[in-house]
Amino acid sequence: MAYKTSGTGYADVAAHFRTLIRDGELTPGDALPSVQEIRDQFNVSAKTVSRAFAVLKSEGHVASRGSLGTVVTANPHVVATGAARLDRLSKTGRNYAAGETSTDHVAMLRSCADLDIAEQLGIELHDEIVIRRRVFRQDGRPTVVARSCIHPRALAVVPELLQDGQLRPFWQTTYTERSGLKVSRGPERRGARLASGDELEALEVQAPATAAVPVLVLHTAFHDETGPLEVWEDVYAPGLWQVSSAV
């Protein structure tokens, strides 16, 4: 495996290995190269390597294991954003990181009552859209309720969008193959709001009916050559999660 990168600072070294761990190229139990190997491959000092390791350890990605050196650890508190998952799929062909699964894949045609989603899709409020929802889990624990809000024109190209269950290949790949239109991704937008009752249920959060539970929400918009196509809304379980974004 090649570890060479153009970055020369400790943050660059840490980011490189963080990406390998996020993408599943390094899995729990795998050893990182020795300090000397990293010094040679990145042309950095021992202090830089030490600082990079310290960052990765503080994030829970790696730990010192005596004669084994520095190894990747199982970290249930690190979850990837939708864009990071898409990058991993593109680079490695893997849908999931180590210990990650998804459940409760459902599809429906619904009126869009969310003004922000309607504006991002370029439709009128209460127009019908395709909604696909799934719950991502890390080692069995729900971490993200992921909702795809899809412009109804996509149905003419990919009618399978209304089928429950995971679509393989990724539906945008099918859309491009059939329509010839390339899909591009916008930047992730982060925000926060109060979770709905069904989101708390999906995330298995026990809270009184009158409780207000804040959650982190990420939006990612997709377009083709004719206009807006899809908006991802990822709702993260409340707690001390580290969110690993696309780079």
pLDDT band of 2, cuts 50, 70, 90: very low
Give the pLDDT of residue 98.
74
66 confidence band (pLDDT: 50, 70, 90):
confident
5 belongs to a structural domain: no
Share of the chain above pLDDT 90, in %: 69
**CATH number, position 174:** 3.40.1410.10
3-state secondary structure 192-225: EEECCHHHHHHCCCCCCCCCCCEEEEEEEEEEEC
Residue 2 lies in a domain: no
Residues 144 and 187 placed together within one structural domain of the fold: yes
In a domain, 3, yes or no: no
Measured distance CA(128)–CA(189) in Å, rounded? 24
Same-domain pairing of 91 and 48: no
130 and 161: one domain? yes
- Structural domain that includes position 234: 79-244
Q: What is the mean pLDDT of the chain?
A: 90
Looking at 42, 72, 102, the residue that finishes a domain is 72
**pLDDT > 80? residue 79:** no
Residue 232, in any domain of the structure: yes
**Rounded CA gap, 61 and 120, in Å?**
35
205 and 113, same structural domain?
A: yes
Question: Is it the case that residue 123 has pLDDT exceeding 60?
Answer: yes
204 burial level (CB within 10 Å; 0-12, 13-18, 19+): exposed
Rounded CA separation 63/54 (Å): 9
**Average pLDDT of the residues in 16-27:** 85
Q: What is the CATH number of the domain that holds 20?
A: 1.10.10.10
Q: Are residues 66 and 109 in the same domain?
A: no
> End of a domain among 34, 53, 72?
72
**In the predicted structure, residue 8 carries a pLDDT above the cut 90:** no
pLDDT at residue 217, as a whole number? 95
- What's the whole-model pTM score? 0.78
Taking alpha carbons only, the member of 130, 124, 122, 126 closest to residue 112 is: 126
Domain boundary residue, one of 72, 103, 124: 72
Same domain flag for 132 and 84: yes
What pLDDT shows up at residue 51?
94
The pLDDT of residue 1:
46
CA atoms within 13 Å, Cβ hemisphere of 51: 11
* Residue 76 confidence (pLDDT): 56
Of 9, 99, 97, the C-alpha closest to 55 is 9
Query: Quick one: pLDDT band at residue 246, thresholds 50, 70, 90?
Result: low
**Domain count for the chain:** 2
Question: Which pLDDT value is given to residue 85?
Answer: 86
Is residue 11 very low, low, confident or very high in pLDDT (cuts 50, 70, 90)?
very high
* Joined tokens for residue 148: 């795809």
CB environment 34-63: b (16+ within 10 A), e (fewer)? ebeebbeebebeeebbebbbebbeebebbe
> Quick one: pLDDT band at residue 4, thresholds 50, 70, 90?
very low
Rounded distance between C-alpha atoms, residue 37 and residue 17, angstroms:
14
The span from the CA of 183 to the CA of 20, in Å, is 25
Whether 92 and 56 share a structural domain:
no
Structural domain includes residue 92? yes
pLDDT, residue 160, reads 98
pLDDT, tens digit, 9 for 90 and up, residues 189-216: 999 999 999 999 999 999 898 889 999 9
Mean pLDDT of 71-91: 81
Q: Are residues 139 and 94 in the same domain?
A: yes
Contact 56, 62 (CB under 8 A): yes
**Mean predicted confidence (pLDDT) in 144-149:** 97
Tracing tokens 């898409």 back to the chain, one arrives at: 86
Average pLDDT rounded to a whole number, residues 108-114: 96
Query: Residue 213 CA to chain centroid, in angstroms?
Result: 22
- The pLDDT value recorded for residue 32 is 94
Residue 4 belongs to a domain: no
